[in-house]
Amino acid sequence: MDVSVIGGGPGGLYASILLQKANPDWEITVHERNPQGVTYGWGIVLPNRTLSNLRAADAPSYEAIDERSTQWEPFDLYYGGERYRSSGHSFASMLRTDLLELLQERCRDLGVALEFESEIDDPQSLAAASDLVIGADGIHSETRSEFADEFGAETVDGEARFSWFGTEADFDALSHIFVENEDGIWCAHTYPGEVSTFIVDCDAETWANADLDQRSEEEYLAYLEDVFAEHLDGHELLSQVDRWQTFTTVRNERWSHDNLVLIGDAAHTAHYSIGSGTTLAMEDAIALADAIGESDADVGTALESYEQQRRPIAESLQRSGERSRLHFEDIRRFYGFDGIQFVLHHLTRSGRLTYDSMSRRDPDLVEEFERWFAASSPGGAATPEQADPVSPATQPLELRDLTLSNRAVRVAGQTFDARDGRPTDAQLAAVRERSNDGAGLTMTEPLAVSEDGRITPGSPGLYSDDHVSAWQETIASADTPVGSTLVHTGTNGARQTQPFGLEGPIPRNESWASRVTDQYSNPPRTYAPDRLQGEDLERIERTFADAARRADDAGFDYLQLQLGNGYLLGSFLSPLTNDRTDAYGGDLESRVQFPLEVVDAVRDAWPDSKPLGAVVQATDWAADGLTLEDSFAVGRALSDRGVDVLAPVAGGVSDDQHRGDVHGLANFSDELRNEVGLPTMATVQATTSDEVNTLVGTSRADLCTYYGSVNEL
């Protein structure tokens, strides 16, 4: 076969090595646009698992990498003037120039033709003249651009600014160094080596304040040397045609077209903060070479097999990289954390590490954190040193006068067999079962505030004094505090819902009551925001307040209002469902007014000593719908009105919703908690103590809905 490789970076060179090694009679040519010996960038990192794969794929190049790389195991984080060292993070780092040099040497040994200053302006002609073309030309791939439609290429730019530098300052571990000055927050990502890599990034606000784009290279290098003076130890920052840029996320719907295939950054990018760029490129090369070998050089079959194997892995790393990128872009949100709290949140930012995996990697660090968390919890020791190290999930939480013994929340499943809103014995038994297993809080299924506000005809409610007596005995006999969610379904009447479902209500089962019956004298559309008049709004507000009083009479300890998933109050918030043109419609400040009036009425009716929560819509996941930024504004307004807990949900408003790959309910809990400054209940389907500890312990939530065994917390 005649194989042409566009791009002489690590991925392109390594693919050439493996293909030539397996097929000595093939003609393989690498086309590199730069002169020999010229490259941009400083160091690269490779995790231990990748080193093992490189050893198995090609021992000679692995041995050269092993000889010229620096091995290290700890990770250092500098924050608030202190250094925190975490063990168990084994990597190797080396200069990019050294890696390219040894891979080029291995290519020559095998007979690969290396052509420098060979820029391919017409990939299509090259593909016509070759049996296989490998596009390994990086993040700004001309190959991808030439066939953008065929690949389904998409690029998205981030907001934070970064640039790569080198320094002769000595670092003995991968480090993230956070420094705050008058302009904002700076972070340096360092890799150890003969010449250390020193990547500097900052959020958009810091960049704007510092005006680095108005400074010459000499001026901004001097500025950064002053920012990081304590860590550079008198050494300069070394520049190598560095440029400030935002990170570009590259995605392609397809990685191949005819006999042309993309690998590495040309196919997909992962944020530099997780150190996976070179790893992805070289492991792509391994998978591509294996696929070609297994297909007996059938190019079409090989390229399909390569993508099937690598895409799930690459997309998983991309999601991790995106979470990490967003963490750095929103760093101000977390910068007030205590030191050890910041460290654990930072180390778990991408989702690749959990609480349990951190405990295995670095038990001493996690023990230090657990002592801090225990001392910070209600009734904790005076100092972390005096506290016993116990898992965060088992620590108490105070909400006004209510103290929860741990952070797990049980949610009773729905049975849909209430009669006229009064719970049946089966529904009450479900609550009793959950309230006696040791969770911190038990939540009943949602309770309707009016007959026509029920989710289904079999849904329970609190719209009659008769309902109060039905709940009193069950709540009085509970071993744990009991809470509930007050809801008016609005246009979602006569449908099924999950307590904290991602999608909101699902379509009505035809075996249930019709949408308009004696029980539903008003069709659900009657409760669309634009149909409700002044007297309707006043009545709805009263029903919520009356239900709150009944909840107190019944003995409920915690109450929250449903403001999400397209239910009535949530439908006022979303621009997709609120078409009003009066004081309750239009911009967000107006759309939130009626829900806030209901919150005020409920807060007045509900005792000051008892906490009030809100199920809040984080995003509609739909074009022109409610956004996360909108949710922050809603959360702040709720906080001002006396709401104590936010329980984020998403979607359920539009049939044309598109759930994001990166943001889920756990992420929304993290963002709302640390942006708004209120405790959050993560409305996830957690089944293990690791999930609860990861959310609560890393300050992403204060409570977590939990479906596992409480004894395992």
- Kindly list the catalytic residues: 567
How distant, in Å, are the alpha carbons of 123, 503, 529, 565 from that of 654? 42, 10, 15, 10
Please enumerate in sequence order all residues whose Cβ is within 8 A of that of 325, keeping only pairs 6 or more positions apart, or say none: 158, 160, 247, 249, 271, 273
Indicate the residue type of 32.
E
DSSP string, 203-251: -HHHHHHHTGGGS-HHHHHHHHHHHTHHHHTTPPEE-SS---EEEEEEE
Beta bridge partners of 356: none
Q: By three-state DSSP, how is residue 680 classified? A: strand
Residues composing the chain: 713
Partners of 499 in beta bridges: none
Distance (Å, rounded) from C-alpha 475 to C-alpha 523?
34
CA neighbours within 13 Å on the CB side: how many for 704?
33
User: Is the CB of residue 481 less than 8 Å from the CB of residue 558?
Assistant: yes
DSSP string, 101-144: HHHHHHHHHHT-EEEES---S-HHHHHHT-SEEEE---TT-HHH
Q: Which amino acid type is present at position 707? A: Y
CA separation for the pair 91, 47 (Å, rounded): 4
Cβ atoms of residues 231 and 76 within 8 Å: no
Query: What whole-number distance in Å separates Cα of residue 543 and Cα of residue 568?
Result: 13
Contact status, residue 693 vs residue 358, Cβ threshold 8 Å:
no
DSSP state of 258: T
CA pseudo-torsion sign 545, 546, 551, 552: positive
